[in-house]
Structure 1
Amino acid sequence: MPMPNQQTRTARLEARISPDMLNLVKRAAEIQGRSVSDFVVAAAQEAAQRTIENTAILRISIEDQRAMMEAILNPPEPNEALRKAADAHKRLVVDSH
């Protein structure tokens, strides 16, 4: 994953960590041939992207998947509330164009 070049880095991020954590981060950065700063920025970016992507993925149980597919394949007849909502939508949205 490409890192922003030095010229575009204008914001500063600070964090307090334990000496043991700093040693761990330094070791990992060294293994990857990066500076500690580049390593931390890349790790934070990857974690942020993963977190955001995970919110876009819908995770449901097998039982819920089956229930959803059943509802899609064999939808129930519309009830009175749904018919009223559809009529209101037609009046307010479709007919107003």
Structure 2
Amino acid sequence: MTEAASRNARLETRIAPDTLQLAKRAAEIEGRSLSDYVATALDAAARRTIEETHIIRLSAEGQRAFVDMLLNSPPPNEALRRAQAHHRRLIGPA
């Protein structure tokens, strides 16, 4: 089954006339239907949003600092010990 044939969900939305004209022009430039353009743009925007909120990107320096903190973490301070005790009372031992 082709991608176009597998599309069967319908989405309705109200947008500003200027936005509609902009989308029509962009679809025309890409030689696609407005529906195809909007569906593709929506898919790309949704994937980008999810990726931006679920993937943490660190510089090489940030990666080294993160690994260093994992491998050489300081001993728990009083606040962390209290939080752990509170967690045990609420949830139980890990």
**Structures share a fold, TM > 0.5?**
yes
Alignment of 1:1-97 (within 5 A): 4-6=3-5, 8-58=6-56, 68-77=66-75, 81=81, 89=94
Q: Work out the percentage of aligned pairs sharing the same amino acid.
A: 53
- Cα RMSD after superposing both structures: 3.2
Q: When the two structures are superposed, what TM-score results if normalisation uses the length of structure 1?
A: 0.62
Higher Cα Rg, which structure: 1
Unaligned ranges ≥5, structure 1: 90-97
Unaligned ranges ≥5, structure 2: none
Q: When the two structures are superposed, what TM-score results if normalisation uses the length of structure 2?
A: 0.64
For residues 50 and 43 of structure 1, the distance between their equivalents in structure 2, rounded to whole angstroms, comes to 11
Corresponding residue SS for 2:3 = coil
Q: How many residues align?
A: 82
